[in-house]
Chains A and B, each alone.
Chain A
Amino acid sequence: MAAPTATAPRSDVPTAAETARLRRRYARRDIMSRVSLYVVAILAALVCAGPFVWSTLTATKLNADLYNPQHNPFLYNKPPTADHVMFLFTDTAFATFAWNTLWVGLLVVLITLVLGVPAAYSIARLNRPWSTPMGIAIFFVYLVPPSLLFLSLSRVVVSTGLQDSTWSLVLIYPTITVPVSTWLLIGFLKALPRDIEEQAMVDGYSRLGAMLRTILPLLFPGMVAVVVFAFTLTASEFIYALTFISPTEEKVVSTGVPTELIRGDVFFWQSLQAANILIAVPIAFVFNLFLARFISGFTMGAVKG
């Protein structure tokens, strides 16, 4: 090989004037890209949150303001009122629905962790010959949807005597959350280094002790991700809640609000919207608090999966 070929030809060193022109161009482009980022971000926020803004407006309007198609729907044409929000608490079982959703959600999350963490540990760490097929099987279970099982599960619920009781949801909801949580936890566990646990075992702890003392604390971000995800799934669930429960005081928000605030043809629109906001904002707020954890948990599972 001839040496001269190695020095690649290059003669287009730009002049100072050319560079200055380029700099102006890229400064402009930089501003443009900042501006378009903000524009797109605001647009996305509007599209996503728009219905909730609309809910808030509606919830605080007087009937006379609301039910007039000529009124600008984005303004208060008459003074705002809190009556319809109060109506939720005084004349409907909304508070009961919210309370039911909360305690069912928390219990289900607890059951999910109690079942899911050991199962995930067993599959991810204990190296049995059946570990991989079992992991895949659990994943497939997640894909069996409520809409396929609700008919037979309603018979199961009847046979346990829990029909028309909120406890039926505590019994059944883990069928949704346990498989997906176990699947996520397997990913998180695989991403944790084995040597930390082995170190604990060398230091004199049993396998169980090592797991409890080293793996559980390290798994915490992953568990937070699972808790948040499982709670959201539980609060959103609709078909089981609709199938199993009919007494008002046993309902959860996702069925209680649409069934109790729509009486026949009468829609309590403002109160419905108020209910939506009162439920949506706290859940989104908590979810957002844990978003970074959620993502780091997800990343450690997904990347090293």
Chain B
Amino acid sequence: MADTLTEPTAPPKRQPDGTRQRLADRDGFLAWIFLVPTVVYIVALVAIPFFMAIAFAFSDVTAGNPSYGWVGLENFYRVFDDAVFWQALGNTFVFTAISMVLIVVLGKVLAMILVADFKGKWLVRFLVLLPWTTPVALSSVTWLWLLHSIYSPIDWVLRNVGLIEDNMYFLGRPGLAMASVIAVHVWRLVPLAAVIMMVGILSIPDDITEASRIDGAGFWRRMFEVTIPLTFPLIAVAALFGAIFTFTDMAVVYVLTGGGPTNSTHVLASWSFVRGIGGGDIGQGAVIALFLFPLLLAAAVLILRAVRKMETI
């Protein structure tokens, strides 16, 4: 046995700083100490507030009177009786679904441009990333000006081309206002989706792409039979990131339309803000916001599935 051969005559010397050494080597201890700060922080500022939000939904807490009083489902009844809530719920879905589709399709196109090799690539990348890196409230202000009822340059062009007589009033008509909100979401999230999908495209080994060229596959077949299936997990991640950002955002609606005209563009997040902070009715605001959660949970499960799939390829 090896032990008998190497048996030391004296017991091994203890390191002078033996205790510290051992702590720094104990995986279990390190794992615990590394994780605790994050867990404590998240429990304190995410988990507890999350349950507080649920509790608020059953309470009469207002901005003026923060003491807790149980009111059961009353807040729910009041929220459900309000047509604006249903409009906001519907809008949230419509905005998210349409944006998600457009974000994926345009993001894919943009990703393909960003990985291509051409002169002036750096400038194009810079310009293309602007919408995503700019704080959303600021870019929404720019869009507010771009869609201005009198001075919109889009209107000016359409007027001068002769397509319209009068201005469009983009933000003054419910249909156009909704389209504008969607357009801004798509515009600001396409670059993010493109960067994520770019990662996917870059991760395909060159050999595979070249093999498909040798095998006689043209541009479209390469895209649909090789690139898209191989990058599907990242496309899914991009789609769901886009969906989550659209779904939970209130800045675009808040700045661009303020929920108007006549509450036609409110989404859950903005309506919850109007009720909870604007109106001071925290109970109602909480009820509205809670509706975001089950849908996000579904999104999360989908993302995780996509990631799982990615690991098994």
Contacts and interface: CB of A to CB of B under 8 A. Distances in A.
A52 to B, nearest CB: 6
Nearest to B51: A152
A196 to B, nearest CB: 17
B242 interface: no
A72 to B, nearest CB: 7
B153 A126 contact: no
B158 interface: no
Contact of B24 (A114, A118, A127, A209): A209
B95 to A, nearest CB: 13
7 contacts: A141-B47, A147-B272, A175-B41, A207-B25, A279-B138, A280-B130, A280-B139
Closest 5 CB pairs of A and B: A145-B248, A147-B269, A118-B34, A152-B52, A122-B34
B102 interface: no
Nearest to A149: B49
B50 A144 contact: yes
A147 B200 contact: no
A44 interface: yes
A149 B129 contact: no
Interface in A215-254: 232, 235-236, 238-239, 242-243, 253-254
Interface stretch (B76-84, B220-228, B283-291): B283-291
Interface string B223-236: 00000000000100
A69 interface: yes
A217 B64 CA distance: 52
A49 B133 contact: no
Interface of A: 34, 37-38, 40-42, 44-45, 47-49, 51-52, 54-55, 58, 66-67, 69, 72-74, 101, 114-116, 118-119, 121-123, 126-128, 131, 134, 136, 138-141, 143-156, 158, 171-172, 174-175, 178-179, 182, 206-209, 232, 235-236, 238-239, 242-243, 253-255, 257-258, 267, 269, 272-273, 275-276, 279-281, 283-285, 287-288, 291, 294-295, 298-299, 302-303, 305
Nearest to B54: A152
Contact of A150 (B46, B120, B273): B273
Interface size class of B (residues with CB under 8 A): 35 or more
B187 A182 contact: no
A255 B191 CA distance: 23
Given A149-B49, A152-B50, A174-B41, A302 B134 contact: no
A101 B134 CA distance: 12
Interface of B: 21, 24-28, 30-35, 37-39, 41-42, 45-50, 52-53, 56, 66, 109-110, 113, 116, 118, 120, 122-143, 145-146, 150-151, 153, 156, 187, 190-191, 195-196, 198-200, 202-203, 234, 237, 244, 247-251, 254-255, 268-269, 272-273, 276-277, 282, 285-286, 289-290, 292-293, 296-297, 299-300, 303-304, 307, 310-311
Contacts, number: 302
Contacts of A208: 24-25, 30
B113 A40 contact: yes
Q: Which of B126, B273, B297 has the most CB of A within 10 A?
A: B126
Contacts of A148: 50, 53, 248, 289-290, 292-293
